[in-house]
Chains A and B, each alone.
Chain A
């Protein structure tokens, strides 16, 4: 149980275009979803936290107009990188907490999305 999927796993886009990444909890209701970014050999950086049906809370330094997060249901959150630039190339990972059993605050991670902006 407690499976989180992400789609796509890899995406290459041209500079200036927008990319949408989906994060789904497959077998539990995710009350909270987290979006992280990770550059090579660096730690996970929390970008934003979203609760179903409410606006996401963005971390300091993360542009909310550039990284649009929608958490429309208890099983789906999306991250849209708008007007992507090469410096946005990174590994984007979502995680979810919710009614999955086990430790209630455990974050279940999706497999990640490798974004390359050319």
Chain B
């Protein structure tokens, strides 16, 4: 079967760094996306990894290890507006995104 495993909820402090881990199992693999979703809103794209390694984009970085079925999203210099759910979504052999429930990140002052 296909499944995603992320922590349900994480809490971090404004200005700090947080790493959200994701492990996945899919039928085939065509890359992995990270999306941010604020409550009551649609997801917005953060990153896409198809090769192993780290992709850095401003305060956000995403890492992928295909052999381990593992990815993480690293958020630096946390801001209050970063409070949201973060969705790890691998793409299977049919180019379909597989969605988990995401990780709710709570930022405290």
> A32 to nearest B CB, angstroms?
9
Q: How far is the CA of A91 from the CA of B41 in the complex (A)?
A: 9
Interface SS of A by simple majority? loop
Q: How far is the CA of A44 from the CA of B42 in the complex (A)?
A: 10
Of the four ranges (under 10, 10 to 19, 20 to 34, 35 or more), the interface on chain B belongs to 20 to 34
Q: Does A110 contact B (CB under 8 A)?
A: yes
Q: By CB atoms of chain B within 10 A, which of A41, A42, A49 has the most?
A: A41
Q: A105-B91, A111-B42, A112-B41 are in contact. Are A44 and B31 (CB under 8 A)?
A: no
Q: Does A109 contact B (CB under 8 A)?
A: yes
> A2 to nearest B CB, angstroms?
9
Q: Does A107 contact B (CB under 8 A)?
A: yes
> B32 to nearest A CB, angstroms?
11
Residues on B close to A: CB < 8 A? Answer: 30-31, 33, 35, 40-45, 48, 87, 91, 95-97, 99-102
Known: A103-B48, A105-B95, A107-B45. 17 other contacts (CB 8 A): A43-B100, A43-B101, A43-B102, A44-B99, A45-B99, A46-B99, A91-B40, A103-B31, A105-B30, A108-B45, A109-B35, A109-B45, A110-B42, A111-B42, A112-B41, A112-B42, A114-B40
